[in-house]
A and B are shown apart, each in its own frame.
Chain A
C-alpha cells in the first residue's frame, strides 16, 4: 500500500482523542504520564464530560498536564491539589473534578491534604502517579522509593535506617471511610493499559454518581530518572516495583461504609 492510500480515512485504525491537545509533549519518551493522559482524554471524550471537567495539576512533571488535556485546569501549589480540588468541588458540586499528582506531591509534601480530602470523602477523582522518584527536579528520593534504590539523594541506595521505608500510601487511603474506590494499576503493557482505563472509567463514574473519593494509583516508570531505557524501565518496574506495590483493587464500596474484609 502506498502512502496516499495509507492516509485515507477508511484505513484509519487509531486516532488521538479530541480532548488531547495537538501539541508536543515535554514528557520523556517512555514515561508513563503520556499513557495516563491518553486514558483520561479518551474517557472524558467517551463520557462526554469535557464541559464539566476541572482538572487540578500538581507540581512535578505533570505540572504541564494542562497543556495536553483540553479541559479547564487549575495549577496547584506543591502537594495542595486535594485542597484546591476541595474548594472547586464544594462550590461546584455538579462539576467533575480530578487531581493528577505524583508521589512526591501526594505522598510527601501533600500527605496531609490528600489524607484529609479523602477522609472528608470529597467527591473527586485522584490520579496518583507512583514512579518512586522525583522526576522533574532530577531524580531525588521520594517517600515511595524502594529500599536500596539509587536516586540522586540516595546515591548508595535508600537506607531504611536513614530514610525510613517506602510508603504504601494507597493502602492508608483505602482505610479511610471517605473513599469509595481505591485501586492500584499500571500502564507498562497493553493489557495493563486496558485494565487501567477500565478502572479510571469506573472511578470517574463514581464521582459522577457522587459516591465519594475515588483514588487510582498508577505504578509508573521514570526511565530517565531511573537511568534506564524505556523498555528496561518497564521490565525493572514489573520485577521490583510490582512485588512491593501489587496491582488490583484495594477497596470498592461507597463512602462511609466500612472497608470489606476481602
Chain B
C-alpha cells in the first residue's frame, strides 16, 4: 500500500531523496529551503540506508563536495535557494564540463542580491541557459505540486545518470513551504559500485583497478581542437534531450484562442485563470512546461499555428517569454506573445492574469489574429 502523508514540499524533497537510494546530500542553510537538510538530519538516513548527510561551510563547498561525490558515480544531491545557487554556479559549470550526474534543487526566492525570502521564478534564465561560464545546459524540472516535488527527485536522478549531466529541480518558496497530500515512493536500495559500473559504464574515480586505465574526472582540456570536440559532444547530448525528454501538460488547449504559458506556482494560479476566462466566454488554455530545459518548443509551435496569442505568466520580469517568442518565431507565426508577472516575492492572482490577458489581447479578442506588429 502506498504511503500517503501531508507534508511540506521541502520535507518531501528530503524524504524522496532517502527513498530513491540517494548516497549523499551536501547543503548549506538558506531560507526558504532549510527544511530539506533539517528533515534529513532529523531522519538520520545513515542509520537506515547508509546515506551521508553533511552540512558544508558554504554553498561553494557544498557544490564541490557534490562534484567529488558525483565523480565517484554516487547518487548525490544538494539544495539551496537563489543566492546560494549563484554561489554554486561555478561548481555547476565544472560538473557539467566533467559530465557528472547529480541533482541540484533551487527553491527560488526573490532577487537580485539578497532580495527577499518570498517565492520567485526569477532564476529561470540562470537555470535554463546554464548559469555559470561556458556552453552547457542543466536538465531543468519544474514541479507544480508537492507530489511532483516528490516524483521529480527520482526523475531528476534518472535523467542525470542517463545523460551524465547535472539535473535541477527549479521550484520556489511557495512550493517548498506549502503542505499537501503526497503519495510517497517505495524505498529503493542504494546502488553498489558494481551496479553503477554495469549501468553507466566505467568512468568514475573509484580507485584504479589493474584491468583498466586510470579514470580522471576533469573539465580541463588544453588542446583547443579537442575541447571543441568535447563541446560538440555536449551539444549533441543537449539536442538529444530536446528530442527525447520534453515534458509538459496541456490543459484545455485544443480549442483555445489564447494560450497561457506558466510553470510551477504560476501554473497553479493560471489553472484558475483559465476557468475564470472561460466563464467570461474567452477560449483560454494553459500550457505548463514541466521540463524548462529541454523547453517544449514543438507544442508551442503547433499551438502558434492555431491560436491567437500567448501570455507568459511568470514571477519574474519576463524571462520564459523570450523562449516562447523564439518558438513562435521559428513556427513562422505572427501571433503576439505577451508577458504578465509579479516580482519581489509576489504571486499573481488569477483575476490579475485574466485582466492582463483581456488588456494585452484586446485587439485579438475583437478582431482575431494580428498579422503584424
Contact = CB atoms under 8 A, between A and B. Distances in A.
B224 interface: no
Contact of A90 (B58, B69, B215): B69
Contacts of A168: none
Contacts of A84: 64-65, 67-68, 71
User: Secondary structure at chain A's binding surface: helix, strand, loop or mixed?
Assistant: helix
Contact of A73 (B57, B60, B94, B214): B214
Contacts of A51: 207-210
* Highest count of chain A CB atoms <10 Å: which of B60, B90, B207: B207
Interface stretch (A75-83, A159-167, A182-190, A199-207): A75-83
B65 A87 contact: yes
Interface string A53-96: 11011000001001000111111110010011111111110010
Contacts of A77: 64, 67, 90-91, 94
Given A51-B208, A84-B67, A113-B61, A75 B98 contact: yes
Interface in A126-173: none
A38 interface: no
A74 B205 contact: yes
Contact of A86 (B65, B91, B214): B65
A54 B74 CA distance: 14
Q: How large is the interface on A (under 10, 10 to 19, 20 to 34, 35 or more residues)?
A: 20 to 34
A86 B68 contact: yes
Interface residues of B, number: 39
* Highest count of chain B CB atoms <10 Å: which of A77, A87, A112: A87
Contacts of B214: 66, 70-73
A77 B57 CA distance: 16
Contacts, number: 130
Interface in B37-79: 52, 54, 56-58, 60-62, 64-72, 74, 76
A116 interface: yes
B23 interface: yes
B67 A116 contact: no
Contacts of A71: 207-208, 214
A44 B207 CA distance: 12
A72 B216 contact: yes
B220 interface: yes
A73 to B, nearest CB: 5
Given A91-B24, A113-B57, A74 B207 contact: no
Contacts of A75: 98, 216-220
Contacts of B65: 83-84, 86-87, 90
A80 B208 contact: no
Nearest to B222: A64
A224 interface: no
B114 to A, nearest CB: 20
A52 interface: yes
Contact of B64 (A57, A66, A80, A115): A80
Nearest to A71: B208
Nearest to A86: B65
A116 B206 contact: no
A253 interface: no
Nearest to B53: A90
B72 A88 contact: yes
Contacts of B58: 112
A53 B72 CA distance: 12
A54 B205 contact: yes
Contacts of B72: 54, 87-88, 91-92
The 4 closest A-B pairs by CB, nearest first: A87-B68, A75-B218, A83-B64, A87-B65
20 contacts: A51-B207, A54-B72, A63-B220, A66-B216, A71-B207, A72-B207, A72-B208, A73-B217, A74-B71, A74-B205, A74-B216, A75-B98, A83-B61, A84-B64, A87-B24, A90-B52, A91-B52, A112-B57, A113-B64, A116-B61
Given A53-B208, A66-B216, A84-B67, 8 more contacts: A51-B210, A52-B207, A72-B208, A74-B218, A83-B68, A84-B68, A84-B71, A91-B72
